[in-house]
Amino acid sequence: METIDKLAWIEIKDGLILSTRTKGRTKFYFPGGKREADENDFSALSREIKEELTVDLIEKTVNYFGTFQAQADLHPEGVQVKMTCYTGSYTGTIQPAAEIEEVVWLGYADREKVSPVDQIIFDWLKEERLLK
């Protein structure tokens, strides 16, 4: 079974979670991406967040949140995505950049608008009363 290894930033404010939509896509995804050669999780995640949202993660505030796995969106059946998630503070103003067309704050009612792995995270956040 093929597994895609990704990193994601979990940013929750007032019971809503930050999500992004890539140009040409209809589903929303948590911001983040894949590591490049020789990158650790923080350097890869901070690079991706800077590229996608123009903000800088503050390294000393970044904490492991959890790892979740599900069928990879837009991939053949059986291809899984393993998403290692982190929280953390940032400096700057969040705005879409690079391939990101839209930045939104979603609540649990928006669950069907996100990828399968993000839906698992939505469910967990709802159970923990972190998501409206």
- Ordered per-residue pLDDT tens for the chain, 132 residues: 799 999 999 999 999 999 999 999 999 999 999 999 899 999 999 999 999 999 999 999 999 999 999 988 888 888 999 999 999 999 999 999 999 999 999 999 999 999 999 999 999 999 999 999
Buried b (16+ CB within 10 A) or exposed e, 27-54: ebbbbbbebeeeeeeeebbbbbbbebbb
Report if residue 121 sits inside a domain: yes
Report if residue 131 sits inside a domain: no
- What pLDDT is attached to residue 18? 98
Q: What is the pTM of this model?
A: 0.93
* Closest alpha carbon to 32 in 52, 63, 8: 8
Report if residue 99 sits inside a domain: yes
Report if residue 70 sits inside a domain: yes
Q: What is the DSSP letter of 79?
A: -
- What pLDDT is attached to residue 124? 95
What is 3-62 written as a DSSP string?
EEEEEEE--EETTEEEEEEETT-SSBB-SEEPPPTT--HHHHHHHHHHHHHS-EE-GGG-
- What pLDDT is attached to residue 1? 77
Give the DSSP H/E element, type plus range, for residue 89: none
Cβ count within 10 A of residue 58: 12
Report if residue 26 sits inside a domain: yes
Report if residue 7 sits inside a domain: yes
Cβ count within 10 A of residue 118: 25
Which domain range does residue 48 map to? 3-126
Give the DSSP H/E element, type plus range, for residue 73: none
Report if residue 24 sits inside a domain: yes
Number of domains in the chain: 1
CATH code, domain with 24: 3.90.79.10
Phi and psi dihedrals of 14, rounded to 5?
Answer: 55, 40
Report if residue 51 sits inside a domain: yes
